[in-house]
Structure 1
Amino acid sequence: MDWLIAIFLGALQGATEFLPISSSAHLRIAGIFLPGAEDPGATFTAITQIGTELAVVIFFWKDITRIIGKWFQQFSGKADRQDPDVKMGWLVIIGTIPIVLAGVLFQDLIRDQLRSLWITATVLIVFGLVLGAADLLGRRIKTLETTTYRDGLLIGVAQVLALIPGVSRSGATVTMGRALGYQRPAAAKYAFFLAVPAVFGAGIYETIQALREPTSVGLGMGPTILATVVAFVVGIAVIKWLMAWISRRSFLPFVVYRIVLGTLLLVALAAGWIDAL
């Protein structure tokens, strides 16, 4: 049974990680319907996200390897410090600092209190409305090449909110990008780049912890690894679809989905059909 659950949760992770609807919220909600009604947990979520971020690396392989190469070449004088790829390397580093600090300082809070379904339902709705407003009112003129260090840091600060199930990493960073006036594809692409070091770092850390304490992963390491592989495969397909979608359409369907899901969750909690923890 654990292996079937792992396949389901891995597919769910891959399908929701890049959409602004919060993969951690969906995994948290899915836990209600699993045998024993167990929350998959922050450790399981962090490890399976390695699969989805590997999908990002594969999909944007040329961009990522070029950025890394140029960033290192600046120190040998082979690349100009004003080169857009060198700048993007620094932007990703600067934007990653806030979530690293928050992850270290508030680890216990992230693992326990913030996983209440009351919080998940509320932020699904609230940040859905914020995303809708930012997407509608954004000036839509800035491109990835014009990203400033100030904007990169602000988007990085927004990424910190993704530690709360229901916010969504892509949702928070894209919302900030749109609010700052970036085009949808530019905001999404920077969000993808920014997530790579943070997610890989968290995933590797949680994997090491899980190897030391196997009981911290509810499904066990075998099923969790399977879920990570499934998340990778599904994630690649979703990235391709999403980049095509936002080049022509708005985020409105995701906003509506977040509000409906959050509302249904609040009703279920208020009626006592499900437990918050």
Structure 2
Amino acid sequence: MLWYHIVFLALIQGLTEFLPISSSAHLILPAQIFSWPDQGLAFDVAVHVGTLIAVVSYFAKDILAVSRGWLGSLGKGQSSEDSRLGWWIILGTLPAVLIGLAFENFIESNLRSIEVIAYTTIGFGILLWVSDRFFPERLEQKDLSIKSVLFIGVAQALALIPGTSRSGITMTAARFMGFSRSTAARFSFLLSIPLILAAGTLKLCELLTSEIPVDWTAIVAGVVLSAVSAYLCIYLFLKWLNQIGFLPFMIYRLALGFALLWLVYMGQ
């Protein structure tokens, strides 16, 4: 990759991983639209590490409290809001893991086209806005239950389809259940940690067992740029979410989706 490929893709990963606009779509599209070279497995590992560093750094105090609470519930049987949140994160992660293991090859082979990305970008963008516009904000983190967490977890599994957006679909599901914007976003970000860690670990294992040469300059740049941009993105998104809502993201998704459809059908 050229230097501007590295900068662009690292920033895109960092900025889109946690916004409800789909990071996978934005990483797939440059190669397909501009005929850029594939960024490669090593760079995928780097940007996953970068976004993981960002979300863990931002929520470090929360993660520590949840970890202590969860371990306390195991060792001493103590139940608290933090321990329950730990169990909810585990429960909410399971559907995506199980469905991913079952359908990963099918999705990789059949659902990574620009046309699919266009339709999922539009469709799930509209659902995001509907959930925020027509469903009240009456529930907070303490109101999470097995039913609501499983609903959010199953929704998260849909993000395996490019263009859906993991953060977008989990926030959509949470808002449909009546959770506030801030609770929906916070739980979505915490729920992302196991999956980003798992995806990064799998890619790292693939990299270690391959003979692909590693461009360490690209790796370091990818980690740093994706980490910094992702951290800023989380901070600003949580700061402004209650003021701006999800409408701007739906508008962006509609514009992107229809632009992609135009490219698909005008190119035929």
TM over 0.5: yes
Taking the aligned partners of 2:215 and 2:106, their CA distance within structure 1 comes to: 23
SS at match of 1:248: helix
Q: CA deviation at 1:42?
A: 7.9
Shift of 1:114: 1.5
Contact 1:47 1:206 in 2 (8 A): no
Give the structure 1 partner of residue 253 of structure 2: 258
Aligned length: 268
- Would the aligned equivalents of 1:28 and 1:41 in 2 still touch at CA under 8 Å? no
Corresponding residue for residue 63 of structure 1: 62
Alignment partner of 2:243: what SS? coil
1:45 to partner: Cα distance: 4.4
* Cα distance in 1 for residues equivalent to 2:42 and 2:61: 30
Identity among equivalent positions (%) equals 36
Could you state the TM-score of these two structures normalised by the residue count of structure 2? 0.93
Residues 45/150 of structure 1: CA separation in 2 closer, same or farther (3 Å cut): farther
- Distance of 2:119 and 2:217 partners within structure 1: 34
Q: CA deviation at 1:137?
A: 1.0
* Secondary structure in 1 matching 2:139: coil
Question: What residue number does 2:165 align with?
Answer: 168
1:141-180 pair list within 5 angstroms: 141-180=138-177
Q: What 5-or-longer segments of structure 2 have no aligned partner?
A: none
State the alpha-carbon separation in 1 of the partners of residues 47 and 54 from structure 2. Answer: 12
Question: In structure 1, what is the Cα distance between the partners aligned to 2:190 and 2:56?
Answer: 9
Counterparts of 1:118 and 1:92 in 2: how far apart (Å)? 32
Post-superposition Cα deviations, 1:114-149, rounded to whole Å, max 9, x if no partner, equal 211110001000001111111101111100121112
Question: Equivalent residue of 2:162, what SS?
Answer: coil
Q: Which residue of 2 aligns with 1:270?
A: 265
Query: How high is the TM-score relative to the length of structure 1?
Result: 0.90
Structure 2 contact 15–233 (Cα < 8 Å) conserved = yes
**RMSD of aligned Cα (Å):** 2.1
How far apart in 1 are the matches of 2:44 and 2:136?
34
Structure 1 residues 158 and 181: CA distance shift in structure 2, 3 A: same
CA 163–144 in structure 1, closer or farther in 2 if over 3 Å, else same: same
**Aligned partner of 1:149: which letter?**
I
Deviations 1:159-194 (A, max 9, x none): 111111110011000000000000000000000111
Is 2:13–2:226's contact at 8 Å kept on the other side of the alignment? yes
The range that moved more, 184-193 or 49-58, is: 49-58
| Aligned CA distance change for structure 1 residues 173 and 43 (closer, same or farther; 3 Å) | farther
- Equivalent pair of 2:42/2:219 in contact (CA under 8 Å): no
Superposed counterparts of 1:61-140, under 5 Å: 61-77=60-76, 80-81=78-79, 83-140=80-137
SS at match of 1:160: helix
